[in-house]
Structure 1
């Protein structure tokens, strides 16, 4: 019962935390943009994108820890668990030291890394930022053992509450530092201090509450080899993510300067919102995917699930993409300022192809459950390299918009391959999926017409007045989909169940 409560509460707190994160980001980011200025904000993102590459040094061992911890916990082998804890603490501590050494080498060669586009003062500040960020990263590595231990023990309530507190407190720590004029250096120092405090809380909880113990005797090197093989493909996916979503900033910083990095970063932020919204939907269905994979006659069931979840994600993804197409430019002008007007084009170029990927997001979990993720990982790594080759000339010529185009081309090429892979190897009926999505999309006709009319008459309104039409547009969107696209499952999911619950409450109240 406690396990079920932890899962339910953890899921609810995840949604609350994500919602708070969005709200705080929307309120906090424009203040930060104006206090830092476009150039320094770009410099901050540029350095962060380089340090993020050091994050792959964890090699995906966090996932490996939970897998092997669960294996030993079932057997109640406390000695093995203690040895596992000790082994991972040593591994991540060594990785942290390696990260510091690598960071020092990068900082000492900052001029070579960023080229001639940065000024002398920017290079000096970049060096300081990199050193602080590397220290922050190095500290975070050993704490992975403790956060993984909390997750493996399914203590989701504690974990999510700590994460939520961190999200809420962060701007209250950072903003005073920015108002005092300490700029990006003050920002990363404040974030590092918060990271240390959160790390200490997790350590204390594991040792005192969960009775976490460590042993460095009888180190199992056979297990180490097995974990390395298990983590290798996770490591490849981590590299791919870093290349696809951080290389653009580095290329822009190298060839165009910090202002273009800032413009790209603002646009990419909206794309990250879209990705996280879709990830929540697919994440809920992971246990069901694994259950179906273990059954016979699984292909039809997997295709049915693939289509059903695809439709749900289509509803959310299409709303975000279409809504941003109509209202995004006005929102960015108010939110970030007119100096970031090109960020609208960057966001659109990234979001449209990404939207097509996200409606098939559950496919990632399907191929993982079938242990068919190795070939896509290798192909995606090749595409990530092609992304770099395409993006460099595009960034040189067209700046932030060119970088976004290069990344989007790579995303489209990758998704074409993945669809063939789903069809030929994973047993998913992609033709049926595409047919169902095409039929389902007829409900978008009215929202598209309304959206075109809004855009064509936009000049009659100022930005604030235009944004007041967002709520009416969302209502039109859902009414159109309800009558022209939704079947019983979607109606119950989006409208029916909440309506029935409200009706039951009202009826009970009336009867009283």
Structure 2
């Protein structure tokens, strides 16, 4: 299948998965809140944040596996089999370590937080199940990275879509049966097993030779993976501190109940990054391939396009959050669960900033040029930790998100675009103005007229909100196409879209 068709199929099915996943998760929140209450929901979010740190034991092996497999255009190479078997062996060992850590921590960890005695036992069991789910996810990631590395995005996304559907059905059924917070952990574990099962069955059928022997260790291959994955570990550490520590800090200093209010708003704003990240993430195997083949023109083209489209979409979603976010949360879970305008605006800004730097991060991963940004990523992570703890004592919930914003703004927000331009020998001025400045400027110009249009209008039903969001999106997209994309590229995309819809060869 041609690269562009694979990319289109990958992005389209990825967006279907994202829309379904976000829609299901958002729809489940009111059901979960009404079933278990704000306190137990806060416990659940806190447990997920703690267990998320065990994901650091991934060591970036999955990303490294995808990278090295994507550099080979055929799945029949002996080296590919060695990469897969080494990854599976390493992940199996890691999974065993996670199980031991989980069992050990389950005896006392939840006492660290101010949880009622009648909820301590159930919280410990839920933590145990969540940890076992994390352990099971490691071998599952091997098979997922194989699909992604060989650019079989369609199958990768379809399996994930089925997982979302199963998760939603089981969650509703078990909650209705009265299993409470326990049902969330059980469903999570069952869904991970279901996705693992589908990935194994599919790959055994389509690529049987690759999985003739999953157990194996090759010193050369191991250190090849480790040379890349070691830096991914450090980057993952930064990400965990930035996005998982907030809930733990809130639970410790402000109480478990405050976690739920913060998490509802943060989950909504971060849901927008799921859409924008899909664009740049789908380009990762191509960044890796073009860099390894020294095809600089294609690499630069894909970098510029992925950045421009990611930021364009992120700007639309940012404007929708700013103008309609409060009303959406009010209709979704009730206005009493809204975290406050200022906190919410900063959450939306953090999501926008993350979408701005994401394409550059994926390009650097594809190039294997991670050394230069690892130090700054860790700096951001620990600045976030320091700022959040210091500011939460002074400003409460607002201090937590302010710390996240300040840490990102003074480090990765500037470092990543500059580094990717330097490593790729690209003009920073051209990259910044063509891909970042113009889409953002367009959004800023639309803020005043939309503020005037939205002023005094009551957004008290979903129809009004949807109409406003669609109107804003259409206006922005129209201006984006004609102001941010040159005529040659517009004609190119129109032709590719026409060929795709008519099921003709794209090249």
Q: Considering the TM-score relative to the shorter chain, is it more than 0.5?
A: yes
Instruction: Quote the residue 2:361 is aligned against.
Output: 364
Instruction: Quote the residue 2:234 is aligned against.
Output: 236
TM-fit CA distance, 1:46 = 0.3
The 1-side partners of 2:7 and 2:432 are apart by 33
1:134 equivalenced with 2:131 (yes/no): yes
Instruction: Quote the residue 2:13 is aligned against.
Output: 13
The 1-side partners of 2:205 and 2:478 are apart by 53
TM-fit CA distance, 1:229 = 2.3
The 2-side partners of 1:420 and 1:70 are apart by 26
Q: Is the 8 Å Cα contact of residues 306 and 359 (structure 2) preserved in structure 1?
A: yes
TM-fit CA distance, 1:125 = 2.7
Flag structure 1 segments of 5+ consecutive residues without an equivalent: 506-512
Q: Select the residue among 389, 392, 398 that pairs with 1:392.
A: 389
Q: Is the 8 Å Cα contact of residues 96 and 141 (structure 1) preserved in structure 2?
A: yes
TM-fit CA distance, 1:455 = 4.4
Instruction: Quote the residue 1:204 is aligned against.
Output: 201
The 1-side partners of 2:421 and 2:8 are apart by 34
Q: Is the 8 Å Cα contact of residues 7 and 282 (structure 2) preserved in structure 1?
A: no
1:159 equivalenced with 2:156 (yes/no): yes
1:23 equivalenced with 2:20 (yes/no): no
Instruction: Quote the residue 1:402 is aligned against.
Output: 399
1:322 equivalenced with 2:337 (yes/no): no
TM-fit CA distance, 1:187 = 1.7
Query: 2:426 aligns to what SS in structure 1?
Result: coil
Aligned length: 498
What TM-score, normalized by structure 2, do the two folds share? 0.85
Q: Is the 8 Å Cα contact of residues 349 and 404 (structure 1) preserved in structure 2?
A: yes
TM-fit CA distance, 1:144 = 2.9
Q: Select the residue among 182, 192, 201 that pairs with 1:195.
A: 192
- Gap change, CA 1:12 and 1:107, over 3 Å in 2: same
- Gap change, CA 1:122 and 1:396, over 3 Å in 2: farther
TM-fit CA distance, 1:385 = 1.1
Instruction: Quote the residue 1:373 is aligned against.
Output: 370
- Gap change, CA 1:318 and 1:490, over 3 Å in 2: farther
Instruction: Quote the residue 1:57 is aligned against.
Output: 57
Query: 2:138 aligns to what SS in structure 1?
Result: helix
Query: 1:385 aligns to what SS in structure 2?
Result: helix
Q: Select the residue among 108, 117, 142 that pairs with 1:145.
A: 142
Query: 1:182 aligns to what SS in structure 2?
Result: coil
Instruction: Quote the residue 2:243 is aligned against.
Output: 245
What TM-score, normalized by structure 1, do the two folds share? 0.84
- Gap change, CA 1:461 and 1:284, over 3 Å in 2: closer
Q: Is the 8 Å Cα contact of residues 133 and 188 (structure 1) preserved in structure 2?
A: yes
The 2-side partners of 1:73 and 1:37 are apart by 51
Instruction: Please identify, of 9-18 and 462-471, the stretch whose mean Cα deviation from structure 2 is larger.
Output: 462-471
1:276 equivalenced with 2:278 (yes/no): no
Flag structure 2 segments of 5+ consecutive residues without an equivalent: none
1:224 equivalenced with 2:222 (yes/no): yes
Instruction: Quote the residue 1:35 is aligned against.
Output: 35
TM-fit CA distance, 1:3 = 8.8
- Gap change, CA 1:297 and 1:24, over 3 Å in 2: closer
After TM superposition, the structure 1 = structure 2 runs for residues 335-484 of structure 1, keeping only pairs within 5 Å, are: 335-342=332-339, 345-414=342-411, 415-422=413-420, 426-436=424-434, 437-438=436-437, 443-444=442-443, 447-458=446-457, 462=460, 464=462, 466-467=464-465, 468-481=467-480
Query: 2:383 aligns to what SS in structure 1?
Result: helix
The 2-side partners of 1:471 and 1:20 are apart by 18
Query: 1:361 aligns to what SS in structure 2?
Result: helix
TM-superposition CA deviations, 1:306-365 (whole Å, max 9, x none):
555443333211111111111111000111212221165444212214424423432223
Question: What's the RMSD between the two structures over aligned residues?
Answer: 3.6
Instruction: Quote the residue 2:171 is aligned against.
Output: 174
TM-fit CA distance, 1:481 = 4.5
Q: Is the 8 Å Cα contact of residues 46 and 261 (structure 1) preserved in structure 2?
A: yes
The 2-side partners of 1:426 and 1:325 are apart by 35
Instruction: Please identify, of 378-387 and 197-206, the stretch whose mean Cα deviation from structure 2 is larger.
Output: 197-206
- Gap change, CA 1:214 and 1:2, over 3 Å in 2: farther
- Gap change, CA 1:119 and 1:363, over 3 Å in 2: same
The 2-side partners of 1:226 and 1:449 are apart by 52
Q: Is the 8 Å Cα contact of residues 334 and 463 (structure 1) preserved in structure 2?
A: yes
The 1-side partners of 2:148 and 2:500 are apart by 35
- Gap change, CA 1:488 and 1:31, over 3 Å in 2: farther
- Gap change, CA 1:322 and 1:132, over 3 Å in 2: same
Instruction: Quote the residue 1:123 is aligned against.
Output: 120
- Gap change, CA 1:215 and 1:52, over 3 Å in 2: closer
The 1-side partners of 2:290 and 2:417 are apart by 20
TM-fit CA distance, 1:402 = 1.8
The 1-side partners of 2:480 and 2:142 are apart by 46
The 2-side partners of 1:147 and 1:264 are apart by 31
Larger Rg: 1
TM-fit CA distance, 1:43 = 0.8
The 1-side partners of 2:257 and 2:74 are apart by 53
TM-fit CA distance, 1:45 = 0.5
After TM superposition, the structure 1 = structure 2 runs for residues 279-294 of structure 1, keeping only pairs within 5 Å, are: 279-286=277-284, 289=287, 293=291
Instruction: Quote the residue 2:212 is aligned against.
Output: 213
TM-superposition CA deviations, 1:427-466 (whole Å, max 9, x none):
33333444445455554466322222144314x5645575
The 2-side partners of 1:435 and 1:69 are apart by 34
Instruction: Please identify, of 91-100 and 142-151, the stretch whose mean Cα deviation from structure 2 is larger.
Output: 142-151
Query: 2:170 aligns to what SS in structure 1?
Result: helix
Q: Is the 8 Å Cα contact of residues 287 and 367 (structure 2) preserved in structure 1?
A: no
Q: Is the 8 Å Cα contact of residues 326 and 454 (structure 1) preserved in structure 2?
A: no
- Gap change, CA 1:291 and 1:183, over 3 Å in 2: closer
